[in-house]
Each structure stands twice: as structure tokens, then as C-alpha cells.
Structure 1
Amino acid sequence: MQKFNPVQMVLAFILMVLQFTQIQGGALQLDNSNFDNIIGNNELVFINFYADWCRFSNILAPTWDEAADKIKEEFPDEGRVVIGKVDCDAQSSIASRFHITKYPTLKLLHNGQASKREYRGQRSADAFANFIKEQLTDPVKKIENLDEIQNIEETKRTVIGYFENTEVPEYGIFRKVAINLKDDCQFLAGFGETVRSMHPPGESIIAFKAGMSKEDDAFTGDINSFDEVSIWATERCIPLVREITFQNAEELTEEGLPFLILFHNPEDTESIKKFTALVQQELADQKQNVNFLTADGVQFAHPLHHLGKSKKDLPLIAIDSFRHMYLFPDYSQAYVPGKLKAFLADLYSGKLHREFHYGPDPETTEEPAQIEDRSGDVNQAPKERPTTPPESTFKKLAPSKNRYTLLERDEL
């Protein structure tokens, strides 16, 4: 009689589960036991953060599994792409880690790093599959001759690498960074004899080039450190001052930072240059606290209307706190050193909100102003009736309630 072997039984059970999972197909269920291993060992991981009780999650679920099977069939190579799903009720620590505030949320991770842009395309299996195909397109364009470097478009922000060949480890790091930042920069790479004059033999070089600038900003850190190269490239590829459009407004609102916005005429490039220079010179240390943006004042006429302004008043500068909008009172004073920084400080301190309601803060501790009534009695001047600052208009461009189940802050 054959002896019972518990180890063999356990192995057989695991094999059966794996075979069943393969047969069933669909998205890979991610949890605390496999999450970090999966995102750390795959080029792309596309994740559906869902809740079983959410109606929109349940609508998406079969489509998501269908997309996972399509993508698995087209990209079967291990380490390339995984379509996963996270039950946020069961895996609350993972949900908190990725700041999930609505269901379902679709996030794309490149080499373990979450893309700042959520997927916002059509929610069909074919659309998801096409999106992944686009993401897996090689983000690095090969330099065929040096003239290509000289003819980079003025509007392009470009990271250029010079390597002996594609096998050197420095190129592998360069390519990983390119995958993460391809939406923000273009990446060019030259190899061997084509770029021999651009770097010493056997030594790889990475540099940043902004438009038609003749000066290259060369990377001087450890070229074999992914983290160092990634931080350096991110600082250059994602500008301090960005343009807000109807296409990117939703993702910008999701960053959760107030907007400091220059509204300008479409043809007015000079005010954009001045505003950008001012932010870089005086406000760069505030980039963790506020988004610096420019906006076409014709396209965004609605927020101007809320401020009591129109196209003829451009350019203007305003803050949208996602609660209210505050207009910088005199645009000509914005470029006086310290004025715009003080405007931001007044937002953080609550002064802007307070003054919109009750008028300017008293500059001194003098007695309240007095008035004489018709009877000859002297009375204190009554407080002004509180006013209401214009409501935020950009918060209305945040995620639609018709696409998601939104959570209150204390629900997750």
C-alpha cells in the first residue's frame, strides 16, 4: 500500500490551482503576498483597483478579464506585461499606498513606478489591448546621423544617450527611464560609429537638450544608478510650469495641489515666458505645494467670467484652491519681487479667504473707525457684510461621478 505523502499532496494541490487559474484566465488577482514581486519584475503592470460592492466595478470586471486574456495571448513573454486587479476592501494597505479614492481606478505601473496619468480611454477589451500595445512601443528613437540632434524641434524636451551598443548596462537603464517618461520627453540614442565624436570610447553619456538650445545639460551622476538617472531626467522632462488644457485638467486636479494660473491670450507668448521665468526664479521651492500653470484665456473663458473678467482683461493671474478662486489684484505688480510669493503665502495662511469674506485685514491695532450718525451720537462703523469669493471652476473638471464610485476621505 502506497504511503500518504503530505508534501506531494500539497504540491499536487498547488499545481491543480495553477492549472485551474490558467484555464480560467482573466486578470491576475494581486494581494500583499504577490504585489511587490509582480510590479518589480514586469515592465508594465496595468491594475484595476475595484470594490465588489461598487456598481461600476462590477460593470467593468468581465471586460477587464477579457482584456487580460487578449493581452496575455499577444504578449506571452515573462516579465513584459501583467494585467492585474486589486480588491481594495480586502487589500486596504495597497489601496492606501496608491491613494485610491474612487472605484474602479485604473493605474499603469512602469517598472514598478505608477504613471502619473491614469488611463482615460474607452473601456473596452480592444481599447485596453491597444493601449498596452502603444505603451510597449520602443520609447527610444535611434539616431541615424548627428544632423537629427541639431534639428530637434524647438518645443521638444529631449534626453539623448550616446552608447557603444545596445548591450551595455547603461543603455538598459536609459531605456527604463524612457519608458517611464516617454509622455513628457522624447528619448534619442546613438550607438557606435554614428556618434563616436560625441563621447569618449567605452564611456556612455546622457544629456538633456531643451529645444533649439545649443547647450546640453549633461548627466554627471552615477550612470549605472536607475534612481539617479530617473530623478535627474524627471526634473528636466516635467517642466515647473505646465499648460492646462481640457484634455489634462482632470489628471492635474487629481494631483490635489492648488493651481496658480496665468490666463493669457492664445497668441501672447511673451507673458508665458515672463511668468515661467518668475516662477523659476522666485517660486521653485513651492513646487510641492502648488501647480504652476498657463491657460488659454479664450478656451477657459468660463473661469474668467466667474472672476468678473473677460478676454479684454488678459493676461491675468489667479489661484484656484479647489474651493474658491482668487484673482491677483494687479497683474502689473506680479513681477515686483516678492509680490506673487506673498500672494501664495496669503493662500496658505487663510488670509485670501478671510479677506474675501471680511475685507482687508487691519494693518495696525488702532481703534475701529468711528462714524457720526444724524443724532450726533458717535458709533463704531459696522462690519461689512461677508462676501463670497468665486467658486472653484477647475474642481468641476475632476473625475466624473458618472464614471466612478467616489469615496469620502475617511472611508478608505
Structure 2
Amino acid sequence: MGYREAVFMGKEQLLTVMLLMVHIQCSNSGAVQFTSENFDKTIASTELVFVNFYADWCRFSNMLAPVWDSAADLAASRFDGGRVVMGKVDCDQQDGIASRFHISKYPTLKLLRNGHPAKSEYRGQRSAEALVRFLEDELRDPVRVINATSDLREEKKGQVIGYFESRASTNYQSFQRMATALKDECHMIAGFGEAFRHLLPSGRDTVVVRKAGSSEEVSLPNLDIMNTQKLTDWAQRACVPLCRRQVREITFGNAEELTEERLPFMILFHHPDDKETPQQFVRVVEQQLFSEKNGINFLTADGLQFAHPLHHLGKTKEDLPLIAIDSFRHMYVFPDIKEMESPGRLKQFIDDLHSGKLHREFHYGPQPVPAAAAGTQPTTRPPTSPPESVFKKLGPSESRYSLLKDEL
């Protein structure tokens, strides 16, 4: 082989290598494609994971796709330290992940913080800059640092206050993770060093809660601050009133705001003079359904004010109290409110909604119930006959909110 041929071959090989590098860079750009193999590992090791749940056949998913990949590239250049990952899930190929997060429309954009989904999906502007700006806001430190206890004041929301020997402590790192999870529900405050040493029992870091409008501090004995999940659960229970934390009252004034959260409603309709049943409902939700708080809105409703939904259910004030689920497609009545406190009954009702069982039975009738003993004839429950959703009509109208489609 002559000199010119060798030089030519060298250039050809160099061009091949350069093209390969470009291909590798392009394949590594854009949002991370999540599968069952990499999804859990990523959300467990990353502070913020922003996920686009999409379907290839969906026109709006296809319109969003290049914007989402551009935003992912922008996020990768703007954030360091592996704090943020933007990813995407093909819901047809990864139906297990989609079912886990109750995805029923496309595209759905959800933020996961330290593995836990935010209660509300992202519904802001669909541009690369807007998406990255949203992540920047979510990364801001939610903790207000004070220099003395005189800096504390009564607030309309509850306060979670940590007193620490050092900002570099692992206890404070756990406190920060808790503060980020609860930043929308409580004020997060921290004090460090000598000015607060007299507040540290036996010289140990401590966390206390002040309820809304109060200066009284409540602490949990033997609180393990380093256990972020236990700290978060305790702080939420102590800081946020139960009625606001788990069960809210729906009114015509807040119905639109609640529908924007895009979570199905489980509603206790009751007579306004009935005070006992709502208290029972709150207890059941707190004791049996706490794990469902990110997938459903638990509400109470004045059955006289909301007579129209009752009418759609074929019910009147004479049937109060009763429980129903509004999925924003159909409404389903819980069979017997007397079983509300029976362990597992309301949980099964919710599971049947998410699995599609309630909807399937509406269209195809109930599955036969196996005979309890030999010789016993199988029985079937009466088929459900849910009417169309009423509460979705109380949500934002397209004439007032155009971002759902126009900003895609």
C-alpha cells in the first residue's frame, strides 16, 4: 500500500470515528427512556425526576416529544450533581409503570421527588424554558434560616422548626429532604449553633412543630431525625390539620381547584346535621387509606348543596349518607356505607377503580363469584350502572384555560 492510500485510509477511519462519536452523542441526548430495568433505580437515586408519560399514537404526545427532549438537554447543561433527570415512559410498552402511577391520559407530566410523586401533575406551559424554570423553582431551598428564636412568628400555616448543632450534619440533610417534600404545606425553618444550643435536649439535634396560629411547640419523643420517611410522616401529621391533610370539604367555591389536581374523588355525601359520619370517614381514611393519598382526593360534601350529583346517582337526601367515587368518566356508588369501617372494604373499592374493574363491570357485567362450598350455586352481584361524571364539569373550561392543548 502506498503513502497516498495510507493517508486516505487514515482519513476514512477518522471520519468513521467522528461519525460514531456524533451518533453516540445524539443517542445520549434528550430525555432518558425509562423501562422497568432503569426506572426504579433512577428515581431512588435522584432528587428530582420529571417524567413524561406518553403514547406513540397520541398526537399531543408526538407534538410534545421534541420540546421535552430539548428541555432535557437544557436541564442537563443547567443542573449539575445528578440532582435532576428528565425522562419519558412509553405507556404502551411499560404498562406496569403507567398503571402504578394511574396514568389515564396522554401526555401526563409528573414530578417525582426522592422517589415520591408530587400530588399534582405539571400543568404549566409546554416550552423547554418553562419546563426547566419549573425545575429551578422546585430545587430552591425551602428552609428559612433564623438567627434567634425572636425571629419566629405566628403563621397562618404550621411551622416545622429544626434546631441543629451544625448545618453539615446528616440530621439536617434529612430535615432538608423532609422540608422539600412538605414545602407547600408548612413553613420550614432551621436554626444552627450556639444561639440554639439551649434548645437541644442532651445536646442532640431536635425538630418541633408549631401549629397554625400558635406559638406552642410540639415534639415527638425519641424522634429519629435521620429516618427521612418517618420524619416526613410525623411532621405532616403534626403540622397539617387532619381535615386539610387527608379529607377536605368540597364546595362550589373550591371545586374547580380540586378538579385541577386531576385525581379521582372519593366523596362522602352527608346531611349537614350529621356530624358523626364525617368524623368516622376521616378516621377510616387516616387509619386505612393513608397510602392512597397520592392517587385519590378524599372529600366530604353537603348532600343538600350537592343534590344534583345525588340525582345523577339515582339518590336523594333520603339516601344520605353515602360514598361515591367520581373518576372524571363515571360515578360509582360504594355498595353499603355500613361497611365503611370494615377493614379493607374502601381500599378494595379504590383498587377496583384503578384496575378498571368498576368500569369493566359497567360495560360487561360482574364476574361470577365462586361458590363458597360444594353444591352452592355461584352468585353474581347486580351490575353497576354508573352515570357520567358530574364533577369534571366543574373543572376549568377550555375557554378559560388553553394550555392543555394550545401550548402543546
Normalised-by-shorter TM-score class: 0.5 to 0.7
Q: Give the partner amino acid of 1:175.
A: Q
**1:126-166: per-residue Cα shift (whole Å, max 9, x none)?**
2212211110111111123313434233xx12222111121
Q: Which residue of 2 aligns with 1:57?
A: 61
Q: Does structure 2 conserve the Cα–Cα contact (< 8 Å) formed by 1:43 and 1:111?
A: yes
| Whole-Å separation in 2 of the counterparts to 1:230 and 1:110 | 13
Q: Give the partner amino acid of 1:248.
A: L
Q: Does structure 1 conserve the Cα–Cα contact (< 8 Å) formed by 2:281 and 2:340?
A: no
Q: Which residue of 2 aligns with 1:393?
A: 390
- What pairs up with 1:218-229 in 2 under 5 angstroms? 218=220, 220-229=222-231
Q: Which residue of 2 aligns with 1:164?
A: 165
| Whole-Å separation in 2 of the counterparts to 1:341 and 1:149 | 45
| Secondary structure, counterpart of 1:247 in structure 2 | helix
Q: Which residue of 1 aligns with 2:112?
A: 109
Once the two structures are TM-superposed, the CA of residue 318 in structure 1 deviates from its matched residue by 6.6
**1:63-100: per-residue Cα shift (whole Å, max 9, x none)?**
1112222222322x122111111222333333233332
Q: 1:94 aligns with which of 88, 93, 97?
A: 97
| Whole-Å separation in 2 of the counterparts to 1:190 and 1:297 | 47
- What pairs up with 1:179-258 in 2 under 5 angstroms? 179-200=180-201, 202-213=203-214, 214-218=216-220, 220-236=222-238, 237=240, 239-244=245-250, 245=254, 246-251=256-261, 253-254=263-264, 258=266
| Whole-Å separation in 1 of the counterparts to 2:158 and 2:138 | 19
Once the two structures are TM-superposed, the CA of residue 249 in structure 1 deviates from its matched residue by 2.2
| Secondary structure, counterpart of 1:248 in structure 2 | helix
TM-score when scaled to structure 2? 0.65
**1:167-191: per-residue Cα shift (whole Å, max 9, x none)?**
0001111111121222222211111
Once the two structures are TM-superposed, the CA of residue 206 in structure 1 deviates from its matched residue by 1.5
Q: Does structure 1 conserve the Cα–Cα contact (< 8 Å) formed by 2:121 and 2:262?
A: no
TM-score when scaled to structure 1? 0.64
Q: Which residue of 2 aligns with 1:379?
A: none
CA distance 1:28–1:259, change in 2 (3 Å): same
Q: Does structure 1 conserve the Cα–Cα contact (< 8 Å) formed by 2:269 and 2:302?
A: no
Q: Does structure 2 conserve the Cα–Cα contact (< 8 Å) formed by 1:158 and 1:188?
A: yes
- What pairs up with 1:136-175 in 2 under 5 angstroms? 136-153=139-156, 156-175=157-176
Q: CA RMSD in A?
A: 4.4
Q: Which residue of 2 aligns with 1:21?
A: 27
CA distance 1:218–1:152, change in 2 (3 Å): farther
2:84 counterpart of 1:81 = yes
| Whole-Å separation in 1 of the counterparts to 2:19 and 2:182 | 43
- What pairs up with 1:224-303 in 2 under 5 angstroms? 224-236=226-238, 237=240, 239-244=245-250, 245=254, 246-251=256-261, 253-254=263-264, 258-260=266-268, 280=282, 284-285=286-287, 287=289, 291-293=297-299
| Whole-Å separation in 2 of the counterparts to 1:389 and 1:88 | 27
| Whole-Å separation in 1 of the counterparts to 2:51 and 2:131 | 11
Q: Does structure 1 conserve the Cα–Cα contact (< 8 Å) formed by 2:268 and 2:301?
A: no
2:145 counterpart of 1:135 = no
Q: Which moved more, 1:112-121 or 1:236-245?
A: 236-245
Q: Does structure 1 conserve the Cα–Cα contact (< 8 Å) formed by 2:208 and 2:217?
A: no
CA distance 1:20–1:284, change in 2 (3 Å): closer
Q: Give the partner amino acid of 1:118.
A: E
Q: Does structure 2 conserve the Cα–Cα contact (< 8 Å) formed by 1:57 and 1:103?
A: yes
Once the two structures are TM-superposed, the CA of residue 110 in structure 1 deviates from its matched residue by 0.5
Once the two structures are TM-superposed, the CA of residue 224 in structure 1 deviates from its matched residue by 1.6
CA distance 1:395–1:273, change in 2 (3 Å): same
CA distance 1:113–1:298, change in 2 (3 Å): same
Q: Give the partner amino acid of 2:169.
A: V
| Secondary structure, counterpart of 1:52 in structure 2 | coil
| Secondary structure, counterpart of 1:65 in structure 2 | helix
Q: Does structure 1 conserve the Cα–Cα contact (< 8 Å) formed by 2:322 and 2:337?
A: no
| Whole-Å separation in 2 of the counterparts to 1:151 and 1:92 | 47
Once the two structures are TM-superposed, the CA of residue 44 in structure 1 deviates from its matched residue by 0.6
| Whole-Å separation in 2 of the counterparts to 1:99 and 1:59 | 22
| Whole-Å separation in 2 of the counterparts to 1:181 and 1:121 | 21
| Secondary structure, counterpart of 1:127 in structure 2 | helix
| Whole-Å separation in 1 of the counterparts to 2:220 and 2:275 | 24
| Secondary structure, counterpart of 1:177 in structure 2 | helix
Once the two structures are TM-superposed, the CA of residue 301 in structure 1 deviates from its matched residue by 9.5
| Secondary structure, counterpart of 1:190 in structure 2 | strand
| Whole-Å separation in 1 of the counterparts to 2:277 and 2:391 | 20
Q: Give the partner amino acid of 2:78.
A: E
CA distance 1:137–1:293, change in 2 (3 Å): same
Greater C-alpha Rg? 1
Q: Which moved more, 1:210-219 or 1:137-146?
A: 210-219
Aligned residues: 329
Structure 1 residue runs without a partner (length 5+):
1-10, 265-270, 327-339, 351-387, 405-412
Once the two structures are TM-superposed, the CA of residue 36 in structure 1 deviates from its matched residue by 2.6
Q: Does structure 1 conserve the Cα–Cα contact (< 8 Å) formed by 2:267 and 2:300?
A: no
Q: Which residue of 2 aligns with 1:376?
A: none
Q: Which residue of 2 aligns with 1:374?
A: none
